[in-house]
Amino acid sequence: MTNATIAKNIANEASSIASRYIAAWDESDAIRRRALIASVFTPEATYVDPMMSNAGHDGLDAMIGAVQQQFAGLRFKLHGKQDGHNDVVRFSWTLAAEGAEPVAYGTDIVVVADDGRISSVTGFLDAMNLPA
């Protein structure tokens, strides 16, 4: 596959890549979450945002599980348009309980490997509205 082909595919697949990523963060069943992580992320994938970082399937699984415990009952949802070019996809998300105002808004930038899985994530917290 040429770089031009990969770039075109990324632009066409940005929404699908972002949706699979969010599904991994929202999966509360440990076995299903682990399978999603393996299908969404390369084995050596890295994650970094202002509050945490981790790497590899084990590290990502532990991190996602910890976030789910901290924000029990809340779910991530895509917000706005997902787009991409070359090997990079950008998307925004919210974190909220069903029917409630979001407690967090963020934007993630992911690098996609040749096999279509995410090799790195750089996350940004755009706003937090945590209750006092």
Domain range list for the chain: 3-128
* pTM of the shown model: 0.90
Residue 5 has pLDDT above 80, yes or no: no
Alpha carbon separation from 100 to 66, 74, 78, 132 (Å, rounded): 22, 9, 15, 16
CA–CA separation, 66 vs 84, rounded Å?
29
Q: What is the pLDDT of residues 75-111, one digit of tens each?
A: 999 999 999 999 999 999 999 999 999 999 999 999 9
Residue 26 has pLDDT above 70, yes or no: yes
Six token digits for residue 102: 């979001």
Six token digits for residue 81: 């348009």
Q: What is the pLDDT of residues 39-66, one digit of tens each?
A: 999 999 999 999 999 999 999 999 999 9
How does 6-24 read in b/e, with b if 16+ C-beta sit within 10 Å?
beebbeebbeebbebbbeb
Per-residue pLDDT at 111:
98
Residue 1 has pLDDT above 60, yes or no: no
Residue 132 has pLDDT above 80, yes or no: no
Q: What is the pLDDT of residues 15-25, one digit of tens each?
A: 999 999 999 99
Give the confidence band of 10 by pLDDT, cuts at 50, 70, 90: confident
Share above pLDDT 90 across residues of the chain, in percent, rounded to a whole number: 86
Alpha carbon separation from 73 to 62, 106, 124 (Å, rounded): 18, 18, 22
The separation between the first and the last C-alpha atoms of the chain, rounded to the nearest angstrom, is 51
CA–CA separation, 14 vs 104, rounded Å?
22
Q: What is the mean pLDDT of the chain?
A: 92
Task: State which fold the 3-128 domain adopts.
Answer: Nuclear Transport Factor 2; Chain: A, (3.10.450)
CA–CA separation, 78 vs 106, rounded Å?
10
